[in-house]
A = this chain, B = another copy of it.
Amino acid sequence: MAAPIEFTVAACDGFARAGRIRTAHGEVATPAFMPVGTRAAVKAMSPDELWEIGYRLVLANAYHLLLRPGPDLVREMGGIARFMAFPGATLTDSGGFQAMSLAKINSISEDGIRFRSHLDGAPVTLTPESAIEVQQALGSDIMMVLDECTPYPAEHGAALKSLEMTARWAERCLRARSSATQALFGIVQGGIYADLRRLSAEQITSLAFDGFAAGGLSVGEPKDAMLEMAALTASMLPADRPRYLMGVGTPSDLIAAVEMGFDMFDCVLPTRNARNGMAYTSAGKISIKRAAYVRDPGPLDSNCQCRTCRTFSRAYLRHLYLSGEILAARALTEHNLFFYARLMREAQAAIASRTFRAYANSVTTALAEGDGADKETD
């Protein structure tokens, strides 16, 4: 039986690697950033725009889709990619992270997570088995195990207890998986404790997952701790499987994580920041609200070839933003997602030409300019 996905590393430069993930819905070049399509839509974007920018893999949230419109409906409509009319591949998270951050939790036990829907208060139980069942109904190309995301801060003892349950849940997820076309990724936890990260990585990589993720990062811990734990986790993950750093991050975080050997990323920053008037540019972040742009006829980023930069002036975008026009959210989101896609394309090329270090330096220096450097506070 063919594996549900096939990962090929085409080039390495230090720990960084460039490659491809073949899925049932096409190939994805790595390192890859995944736009977040929470409710089966990337906010403000149409699926053809995502495709034109170059995205071949988007993320959707099982928690949201479980509550509305429900996994059975999505299955009936041909699966999540077809439902949202995205011609590429999809990854779904397990729903656990959102249940813990959005819902009213009733209990987290060995069995699973009991919570009340943030939409209507209806009681829902998510177990390792039901998390897989939901994602199999959604029909994503890559599913994630149900894990307990260790919060920050957490005591060593609590983090240990949590990662051990995550390991038992991981085994249950693997046993529950019946789809031959959907990959399943394990998730390493361990908080910010190096020994626990190692232990969790040993436990999770001993299981036959198609890929591995570092979870429980970017949840409030200091940036240095995040980067240290990410690097440690990456070093423990097998080289022949995709490595996914969940929920990270800023452009400079992504460059740092690519250098550690991560292949996949997701983050709401480019889309959420866009809706708040923030644009990523080759000279750092800018806020389109600033009075300095009121009569500025230039594009957001004179080095950018996206449709927004080819079409609209900063003066117009500022006017749209201040007027609350939907087109402001559209134009800035398209620009930011183009920026992230270009960053990954450039990283791939730099790895292939073994110039990644120089590329990383040049990008990181440029990004530190602008209205404000990329900060934790994103």
Contacts and interface: CB of A to CB of B under 8 A. Distances in A.
A326 B334 CA distance: 13
Nearest to A323: B39
Given A68-B319, A77-B315, A77-B316, A39 B325 contact: yes
Contacts of A39: 319-320, 323, 325
Interface stretch (A45-53, A176-184, A214-222, A255-263): A45-53
A295 interface: yes
A322 to B, nearest CB: 7
Interface in A48-75: 48, 64, 68-69, 73
A311 interface: yes
A84 interface: yes
Interface in A257-273: none
Task: Point out which of A297, A313, A315, A316 has the most chain B C-beta atoms below 10 A from its C-beta.
Answer: A316
A315 B48 CA distance: 19
A68 B311 CA distance: 21
A69 to B, nearest CB: 5
A313 B77 CA distance: 9
A226 B73 CA distance: 46
A315 B73 contact: yes
A73 B294 contact: yes
A39 B43 CA distance: 22
Nearest to A327: B41
This chain: copies in complex: 2
A319 B41 CA distance: 10
Given A69-B294, A73-B294, A323 B41 contact: yes
Q: How large is the interface on A (under 10, 10 to 19, 20 to 34, 35 or more residues)?
A: 35 or more
B311 A85 contact: yes
Contacts of A311: 46-48, 85
A330 interface: yes
A53 to B, nearest CB: 14
Contacts of A318: 69
Contacts of A323: 39, 41, 64, 68
A371 interface: no
Top 8 closest pairs, chain A to chain B, by CB: A44-B326, A39-B323, A69-B319, A41-B325, A85-B311, A41-B327, A83-B316, A77-B315
16 contacts: A39-B325, A40-B319, A41-B323, A43-B326, A64-B323, A69-B315, A69-B318, A69-B322, A73-B315, A76-B295, A77-B295, A77-B316, A83-B313, A83-B316, A83-B319, A85-B312
Interface of A: 39-41, 43-48, 64, 68-69, 73, 76-77, 83-85, 294-295, 297, 307, 311-313, 315-316, 318-320, 322-323, 325-327, 329-331
